[in-house]
Amino acid sequence: MSRIVLGVSAGIAAYKAAALVRIFGESGHEVEVVPTPASLNFVGVATWEALSGRPVHTEVFANAAQVNHVRIGREADLVLVAPATADLMARAAAGSADDLLTNVLLTARCPVVFAPAMHTEMWLHPATQHNVATLRSRGAVVLDPGVGRLTGPDSGPGRLPEPEDLAATAMSLVENPELGTVLAARDLTGRHVLVSAGGTREALDPVRFLGNSSSGRMGVAVARAAVGRGASVTVVGANLSVAAPAGVDVVSVSSAAELAVAMQQAAPVADIIVMAAAVADFTPENPQHTKIKKDGDRGLHVELTQTPDVLADLVASARPGQVVVGFAAETAHDPAELIALGTAKRARKGCQVLVANNVSAGAVFGAATNEGFILSQGAPPQQFSGSKLAVAHAILDAAMASQERKD
């Protein structure tokens, strides 16, 4: 069982942090909430104690026999501050220790994540940006805030990302603490990542379609990982069953033809293209404009035609230095066959990197985890297994390594 410390500072978005306690607890983690005194104006001690099942303190001298101002940070596997106000980040950057939470931040030797939430003017102020840069330079992960409705009628950057997004990032760091260094370094800053996600639907008539089981979780995870590493990200989403993370541009499509057009339009400015969507290989040749009716005991015969080969077309039109990552969902008997099938597809399509999954018996689709092999040109097969967000980081690492080999 991992121990997550949830720091809560005094912003109205503190109410969202209550959902984080529940998500972490239901995932098997032990949660200790450390609110600042001022944050209790928004969410009180009783709420935090009821949700976490643990006593809650805000002052250094509370329960002094436990030496909480040192113990909590030392014992933590992760510290997440959500929301992190401009004031809290300023005090953290200055090394202040004027309440229990700032003491915890000084004693923690685990990954530390700040999820900023404040008004746009406060987020963009040079002092706040300087403090963010200072915290990142020390190895802390400072996430970019979402863009949207803030307190009152105004909107803009400064919104706390949704609890599910924050929890996914936090738990990936618990799974692999070394990701903290990657996220703090923001090694994709200045790069554009284009991701396709979800599963296409090919219309038979206005109410029926041919589709597949892809949920879009893997593509969304790649987008979330890329945003966390500083990239600008575009997601071409086909019938996603999960929401795209904050901070990405989303182009919604349905069919393979629509996805092909959207990807070609967005591709010229991308440095890395990740084709995670499950794209139909065939589409009805003559979709009906009215609902198909039963005709006695007769069955339905549908003529199918091949869809565009989106991956191969992206490779063919790729500009110098651009890396294209493909996916292969295969039904293999063993890892050797999976590698062989994936290697053949990578060579056939011409992409630099290919992610091979074994989807026998419905594995991978819709699941929170993924396993398989990353097959890169000029590198040995890399086996992976873990959360889709952790796998997403491995995919981006492979894409960047491939780009360096090309350069």
pLDDT in tens, 315-327: 999 999 999 999 9
Q: What is the mean pLDDT of residues 66-80?
A: 87
Q: How many CB atoms lie within 10 A of CB 76?
A: 23
For the chain, the average pLDDT equals: 92
pTM over 0.75: yes
How much of the chain is helix, strand and coil, in % rounded to 5? 40, 25, 35
pLDDT for residue 295: 78
CA distance readout (Å), 317 to 145, 265, 312, 321, 331: 34, 11, 9, 12, 30
CA distance readout (Å), 121 to 59, 134, 158, 217, 224: 30, 19, 9, 33, 25
**Greatest extent of the chain over all pairs of C-alpha atoms, in Å:** 81
User: What backbone torsions phi and psi does residue 91 show, to the nearest 5 degrees?
Assistant: -70, -40
Class of 192-406 per CATH?
alpha beta
Quick check: 110 and 181 in contact, CB under 8 A?
no
Quick check: 310 and 255 in contact, CB under 8 A?
no
Quick check: 32 and 72 in contact, CB under 8 A?
yes
pLDDT for residue 59: 81
Residue type, 379: A
Q: What is the mean pLDDT of residues 229-255?
A: 94
Nearest to 5 by CA among 48, 63, 61, 41: 48
Three-state DSSP at 113 gives strand
Q: Where in the chain is the domain with CATH 3.40.50.10300?
A: 192-406
Residue in 68, 103, 131, 212 annotated catalytic? 212
Q: Is 103 a catalytic residue?
A: no
Q: How many CB atoms lie within 10 A of CB 362?
A: 9
Q: What is the mean pLDDT of residues 126-147?
A: 95
Q: How many CB atoms lie within 10 A of CB 381?
A: 15
Task: Give 250-294 pLDDT, tens digit per residue.
Answer: 999 999 999 999 999 999 999 999 999 999 999 999 998 999 888
Assess whether pLDDT exceeds 90 at residue 132. Answer: yes
Write down the H helix ranges in 41-85.
45-52, 68-75
DSSP 162: P
Percent of the chain having pLDDT more than 90?
Answer: 75
CATH number assigned to the domain covering 3-185: 3.40.50.1950
Residue linked to tokens 């006593």: 55
Assess whether pLDDT exceeds 80 at residue 376. Answer: yes
Q: Which stretches of 207-352 are assigned E, i.e. beta strand?
A: 209-210, 232-238, 248-253, 272-275, 282-284, 304-306, 323-330
Q: Where in the chain is the domain with CATH 3.40.50.1950?
A: 3-185
Residue type, 201: R
CA distance 109 to 77: 8
Based on its alpha-carbon atoms, the radius of gyration of the chain, rounded to whole angstroms, reads 24
Contacts for 94 with CB less than 8 Å, ≥ 6 apart: none
Lowest mean pLDDT among 104-113, 197-206, 356-365: 356-365
